[in-house]
Structure 1
Amino acid sequence: MPKSKNRAVMIWLFAFAFVVAFLVVFGGFVRLTRSGLSVVEWNPVSGIFPPIGEQAWQNEFAKYQLTPEFLKVNHNITLEQYQRIFYIEWLHRLIARLAGLFYAIPVFYFLIKGAIPLKEFGIYVLMGLLFIGQAFMGWFMVASGLIDRPSVSHFRLTLHLLLALSLFALSLWVALGHRNGFPDFKISIKRSGFLKLAITGMIVLLVQISYGGFTAGLKAGHVSNTWPLMFGKWLPAGLFSNGINLLKSPQTIVFVHRWFAFVALIFGIALYFLARKQNYHPEITRGLLWILGLGSLQIVLGVLVVLLNVQISLALLHQLTAVLLFGWSLILLYRLRILNV
């Protein structure tokens, strides 16, 4: 972890973290509009430009017409309708390319100028590798939906999401370090029970987000449009008849995603009252109140998404709130280390 602070680097990293968060939410929009499989090739250079001219569009449309999505879902789609979903995915990839430049150009500029010492450059190399990794996983995800089924692998989608969130987290953590200092993250066995509970809460949140990725990839949000009951029951039969259901069954996955959210909320409540009881710094209790507010809003939005059959604007707001909740939880962990809790 770096030791030296720099205001310009801090501003850049905060901006980059925002761009990554925006890409996560925009990726959700791509998925919800079924646009992600419209661009069937990954051309890092020539793909910067959309098809130009009638013949180029016809050629691109012909490639799409060979995909499982066209053959099984969109067989009645017109060229004009195809152009709409193509532009959504093309814009997604263009923004991702620009985000790559927004990372690469400043990081080498700051290195050359000495704002980032060479001995501290390793963490920025890791950020670059994370960016490349999530970009590759994005294409690997898309490729899974171009062979024999009109949908992507929910495992690859979730890994793509987690890599993006890892990049967001690392960028945000280092930006906070440039602002307030870089804390040692070693856990003291004697003094850090609260910190370890907070880290466990973060792990619980990541499990819940992962199940959100599974739910999105399997389109499991459409399984049932009732809440709190599913199929008229609190616990539908057969959900846990096989352990593999926890990873592959849409019904089981969406059931877990519905109720595990309350486990995450309970962790937040426990942390808040423990912080109050032990008279921790007001920054900690205020941060936990924000987390509880965002967590409660996230649950309400999730319920509305179910009841309103995955309405796109609500689903995107649900995803945005998840990113904000994750970011604020990371800020809390940072504050705990700065305040030596």
Structure 2
Amino acid sequence: MTPQNASSPRAPAAAGRPLDGVAANITRQRRQNAVRIWLWVVAVMIIAMVVVGGATRMTGSGLSITEWKPVHGTIPPLSLAEWQEEFEKYKQIPQFSILNPDMDLAGFQFIFWWEWSHRLLGRLIGVVFAVPFVYFLARGYLPRQLRWPMAGLFALGGLQGFVGWWMVASGLVERTEVSQYRLAIHLTFACLLLAAIVWVAEGLRPVRQGAPAPAGVRRLGSVIVAAVLVQIFLGGLVAGLRAGWTYNTWPLIDGALVPEGLLVQAPWWRNLFENPLTVQFDHRMVAYGVVVLALAQMWRARATPAAAGAVLLLAAVLAQAVLGILALIHVVPLSLGLAHQFGAVVVLTVAVAHRRHMARSSFAA
């Protein structure tokens, strides 16, 4: 009897250990879900930032604030005297003297609020990223392998603010608009941050059971992400050169599928960045390429776990192509221009999530 009595108190503890492991897994998953939701909130804010940036550009508002004040600039003008002071600063740049010499204070206030809102949203994104990051880091919510990369993303977000000012500064002295090079870099940099955040967020999901997608499907998914980023960069060049306001026919461009005048500038490579006809032509051709890649991905992934994601990706790409055509033939009205810019970041988000879901591992392990 003694051996039996001695062993009986240890039985519940031994039986309880698997339950403790289950509880720990549930707690860990809940924490990672909280981190994933936070990252998706940041991603949605970046998407909104891109769209507001597009509105700022299309309304000609991007040069209305001629100074970079990361902290003090949070507070807008609060009195008539302060509004007049800001307006006088704007009057010193070429955009006012050449394009807007008849602008009054009310017109200036209109463009000022667009640019101020764009900058304020950027500051809010920094706060929404930084505060939860510190909290999650202190409470141990972040997987160890993500701590330094997430800190790096925060630093890159701050760098993006500097890139934005670098872009604005290009239009304050000798130009009436910002450099198309810097605009394209600024837009692409924002999209790279968005892609990285979506990649991390979806990596916090548990790995799905079953056979992984074939290597060829995964590689094509990576190619599509890269092609979408290239297309977004080209879209930035189109916007910077206002190339969408010219050659507003489809499927022909300047009366031909391959128009003359694509390489009229010397050296030839300048046409890729400075010739509106060439830039728009390249943007169209890469768009066709993305559609073909998305079709191929849907076909190759049709019998794999990635099939649903491939169908969603193709739907997003086709919708974006239609928006692009409509924006072009209607000479880029504000509504269609913003819808097209929004569609671009949606396609990128879907492409990154689709590729991440095919990865063999997750951060949730």
TM-score normalised according to structure 1 size? 0.91
Contact 2:261 2:277 in 1 (8 A): no
Paired residue type of 1:18: V
Match of 1:322 among 326, 344, 347: 344
- Alpha-carbon distance change, 221 to 55 in structure 1, aligned in 2, over 3 angstroms: same
Instruction: Report the 3-state secondary structure (helix = DSSP H, G, I; strand = E; otherwise coil) of the residue aligned with 2:40.
Output: helix
* Counterparts of residues 212-227 of structure 1 (less than 5 Å): 212-227=235-250
- Alpha-carbon distance change, 207 to 120 in structure 1, aligned in 2, over 3 angstroms: closer
Q: Larger Rg: 1 or 2?
A: 2
* Counterparts of residues 137-286 of structure 1 (less than 5 Å): 137-180=163-206, 192-241=215-264, 242-276=268-302, 279-281=303-305, 284-286=306-308
1:49 corresponds to: 75
Measure the CA separation in 2 of the matches of 1:243 and 1:117: 45
Question: For 1:62-98, what per-residue CA distance to the aligned partner results, in whole angstroms no more than 9, with x for missing partners?
Answer: 1100111101111111111101110111111111111
Deviation of 1:181 after TM superposition, in Å, equals: 5.1
Structure 2: runs of 5+ lacking an equivalent: 1-27
Q: Percent identity?
A: 38
What RMSD, in angstroms, separates the aligned Cα atoms of the two structures? 2.0
Measure the CA separation in 1 of the matches of 2:301 and 2:135: 42
Contact 1:269 1:292 in 2 (8 A): yes
Moved over 4 A (4+): none
Deviation of 1:118 after TM superposition, in Å, equals: 5.9
Measure the CA separation in 2 of the matches of 1:118 and 1:227: 51
Contact 1:225 1:307 in 2 (8 A): yes
Instruction: Report the 3-state secondary structure (helix = DSSP H, G, I; strand = E; otherwise coil) of the residue aligned with 1:41.
Output: coil
- Alpha-carbon distance change, 303 to 60 in structure 1, aligned in 2, over 3 angstroms: same
Question: For 1:163-195, what per-residue CA distance to the aligned partner results, in whole angstroms no more than 9, with x for missing partners?
Answer: 11121112111111223259xxxxx9xx62222
Question: For 1:88-142, what per-residue CA distance to the aligned partner results, in whole angstroms no more than 9, with x for missing partners?
Answer: 1111111111111111111011111221256641011111022012111111000
Contact 2:298 2:307 in 1 (8 A): yes
1:185 corresponds to: none
How many residue pairs get aligned? The number is 327
- Alpha-carbon distance change, 119 to 323 in structure 1, aligned in 2, over 3 angstroms: closer
1:110 corresponds to: 136
Paired residue type of 1:98: L
Measure the CA separation in 2 of the matches of 1:61 and 1:271: 52
Deviation of 1:339 after TM superposition, in Å, equals: 8.4
Contact 2:207 2:361 in 1 (8 A): no
Measure the CA separation in 1 of the matches of 2:146 and 2:79: 49
Deviation of 1:286 after TM superposition, in Å, equals: 1.5
1:86 aligned to 2:112? yes
2:321 corresponds to: 299
1:287 corresponds to: 309
1:123 aligned to 2:146? no
Deviation of 1:270 after TM superposition, in Å, equals: 1.0
Contact 1:29 1:316 in 2 (8 A): yes
Contact 1:67 1:146 in 2 (8 A): yes
Contact 2:246 2:331 in 1 (8 A): no
Instruction: Report the 3-state secondary structure (helix = DSSP H, G, I; strand = E; otherwise coil) of the residue aligned with 2:69.
Output: coil
